[in-house]
Amino acid sequence: MYAQMIKSEATQDDPALLEAFQARIDDNQKIEPKDWMPEGYRKTLIRQIGQHAHSEIVGQLPEGNWITRAPTLERKAILLAKVQDEAGHGLYLYCAAETLGVSRDELFEMLHSGRMKYSSIFNYPTLTWADMGAVGWLVDGAAIMNQVPLQRTSYGPYARAMVRICKEESFHQRQGYDIMMKMCKGTDAQKKMAQDALNRLWYPSLMMFGPSDKDSVHSEQSMAWKIKMNTNDELRQKFVDQTVPQAEYLGLSVPDENLKWNEEKGGYDFSEPDWSEFYDVLKGNGPCNTERLNTRKQAWADGAWVREGMLAHAAKKRIAKVAAQ
């Protein structure tokens, strides 16, 4: 792998290679780990896939908060399964990133030192059981809207990981909506709780798609390379158009007085999120940034004995193998 990387760096500026690479992308061919790729393509993928993997892992925390407090045994089992699925998604994605020549230890180090991000949404707290409904409905709903197109992304291992992830995210979204339905058909207090969850999580969910297109740094190049299939605003619009009728069905109101169907564009007009809040959360100043990162760092420290044990076991086996030769 290292030799291959050195070789690819030496040929980075070769216009013929770059042209042939772009032609493969334009022809919808998949790029596989051993294929030549521009360094920028490789780095962008590590950034996006790594950030995505971290989001799945950190994303377990707001829901993990409610496993011990789920209202019934059935709800607890469903939530537990969902949170375990998210761990699995993180693992597929770390594996996909590793095929690009970065190690899992390096990815964790970058998360823990703040050099790599995870989705802004997970820096908000989950205050009531209704938040479990709203996270499934809105957060998984937004994740699916973004990830279904990524099944066609140009990098083979990422596209294939997305296929399974999307199937599981659909189940997650349905279970979230099911919780919202129960709450909305329940007592006045339960419906109020559901409305409160929607009020708090609506704009953070819209932020999941990233800054508006005019402020997106990576979209243009990532779309040319088919690392991203849509712009941030395109997906945000699709999400609003899909979600507003679902809120209406629940009898809930979306907390946006500018929300209005626009016949001409065939979609809703809606208020932009507060982008200063978004950038502030990215800088580490969201309500839960410190708590989330500290929890992950603690988990890494707590797992040190497992890693050390496994390395010692592998070393022992290696010595035994050499001795037997």
Q: Say how far apart CA 117 and CA 162 lie, in whole Å.
A: 20
Q: Tell which positions 208-227 bind ligand FAQ, by CB under 6 A.
A: 208-211, 216-219, 222
Helices (H), the chain: 2-10, 15-26, 39-58, 60-64, 73-98, 104-112, 130-134, 140-150, 156-184, 188-207, 219-224, 232-250, 275-280, 289-302, 304-324
Contacts of 68 (CB under 8 A, 6+ apart): none
Site string for ligand FAQ, 120-149 (x = CB under 6 A): x--------------x---xx--x--x---
Which one of 45, 48, 177, 288 is in contact with ligand FAQ (CB under 6 A)?
48
| HEC letters along 236-279 | HHHHHHHHHHHHHHHCCCCCCCCCEEECCCCEEECCCCCHHHHH
Which one of 31, 37, 45, 52 is in contact with ligand FAQ (CB under 6 A)?
52
Q: Tell which positions 253-282 bind ligand FAQ, by CB under 6 A.
A: 282
Residue 279 or 300: the one with the smaller Cβ distance to ligand FAQ is 279
101 φ, ψ (degrees, to nearest 5): 95, 15
Residue 207 or 240: the one with the smaller Cβ distance to ligand FAQ is 207
Q: Is 175 in the site for ligand FAQ (CB under 6 A)?
A: no
Q: Is 201 in the site for ligand FAQ (CB under 6 A)?
A: no
Contacts of 181 (CB under 8 A, 6+ apart): 250
Binding footprint of ligand FAQ, residue count (CB under 6 A) = 29
CB of 266 to ligand FAQ, least distance (A): 23
Q: What does 134-146 look like in DSSP terms, one character per residue?
A: HIIIIIHHHHHHH
Residue 48 or 243: the one with the smaller Cβ distance to ligand FAQ is 48
Q: Say how far apart CA 195 and CA 101 lie, in whole Å.
A: 45
Which residue in this structure is represented by tokens 């020549």? 101
Which one of 195, 232, 237, 243 is in contact with ligand FAQ (CB under 6 A)?
232
CB of 82 to ligand FAQ, least distance (A): 8
Which one of 179, 180, 207, 252 is in contact with ligand FAQ (CB under 6 A)?
207
Q: Considering only 51-59, 72-80, 243-251, 258-266, which stretch makes contact with ligand FAQ by CB under 6 A? A: 51-59
Q: What are the residues binding ligand FAQ (CB under 6 A)?
A: 47-48, 51-52, 55-56, 59, 86, 117, 119-120, 135, 139-140, 143, 146, 207-211, 216-219, 222, 228, 232, 282
